[in-house]
Amino acid sequence: MLKPTTAARGGASSRRPPEAMRRPGMPRNGADTIALLQSNSLPALVEKELERRILAGDLPAGGKLSEATVATLLGVSRGPVREAFRALEASGLVRLEKNRGVFVRQVSVAEADEIYEVRAVLDEFVGRRVAQTATEDDIRDLRARVERMERAAARGDVDAYAATNLEFHDRLVALAGNEKLLATYRRLVNELHLYRRATLGQSGTLPVSTREHRDIVDRIASGQSAAAGRALFDHVMASRERMHRARAGTRASAAGGASRKLR
């Protein structure tokens, strides 16, 4: 949940990164703050913080976001919050309803199925393209990302694995060199955030997912364009099946809990 900070009172104070949005390593002195704001506008900072909280589950799917409340809680004026809401809608994380307000996007299972299917087709193209264009440095970078996933899997650290997994796929799509594709992909991935954590949290999923990622990089490294594309397609569709298994497990647990209460 968002934690309150001192509200901005206009002037220079409205340009300072609010305490609620500071993370380790963020600047606290005037010169560093100016440098930060030169590269990141205040609306962008608000957008990034809200995005982080949505993806972490701190702002639940279907929950309403009040412009005035968010502004007060983050210690900024309402203008940057309004701009951040528009950007978050474009990225697929919130929806704006006329005369009702702004809500964290909630995606149905049927819609998630469709998103996985579209993403599988896009990823197959990405695999084919990157297998043709990847440099040795690109391959080393992708392997290093898979190794970070392996270490997270060994620790059973689902959150670290999920973050590295997202970065791996985002990097792959970026290597395809198509900005329209990258923007479309990022929106699709954002829309699936509701299911990602539960899917990866299933017992035995992380080692299997890691092997799939290593296989993808091996195909790309060997220049096997069709095989790389197929590996990515199969990986996405396997992720969809894992999503359904996770939901089935959740329903079974809920049903078992309900039956025990009736005894």
Q: End-to-end distance of the chain based on CA atoms, in angstroms?
A: 36
Instruction: Please work out, in degrees rounded to the nearest 5, the angle formed at the alpha carbon of residue 213 by the alpha carbons of 210 and 219.
Output: 140
Cα–Cα distance measured from residue 33 to residue 130, given in angstroms and rounded to the nearest whole number? 38
For 73, the enclosing helix (H) or strand (E) is helix 67-74
| Final residue in a domain of this structure, among 45, 69, 104 | 104
Does 165 share its domain with 211?
A: yes
pTM: 0.70
Does 258 share its domain with 135?
A: yes
- Chunked mean pLDDT (size 10), the chain, 263 residues: 42 43 42 50 90 82 90 91 92 87 88 94 98 98 97 92 93 97 92 73 84 98 98 96 79 51 53
Does 131 share its domain with 19?
A: no
Does 28 share its domain with 77?
A: yes
Does 145 share its domain with 183?
A: yes
Q: Which domain holds residue 29?
A: 11-104
CATH number for the domain including 249? 1.20.120.530
- pLDDT given at position 134: 98
Token digits of residue 43? 């609306």
| Final residue in a domain of this structure, among 70, 104, 138 | 104
CATH number for the domain including 62? 1.10.10.10
Does 138 share its domain with 54?
A: no
β partners of residue 134: none
- pLDDT given at position 55: 77
Q: What is the DSSP code string of 189-231?
A: HHHTHHHHHHHHTSTTHHHHHHHHHHHHHHHHHTT-HHHHHHH
Assigned domain for 6 exists: no
Token digits of residue 206? 């992380």
Assigned domain for 2 exists: no
Q: 101-104 and 94-97 as β-strands: parallel, antiparallel, unpaired?
A: antiparallel
- pLDDT given at position 182: 96
The residue whose two tokens read 């997270």 is 152
Domain count, the chain: 2
Does 118 share its domain with 24?
A: no
Does 97 share its domain with 134?
A: no
Backbone angles phi, psi at 99, to 5 degrees: 65, 5
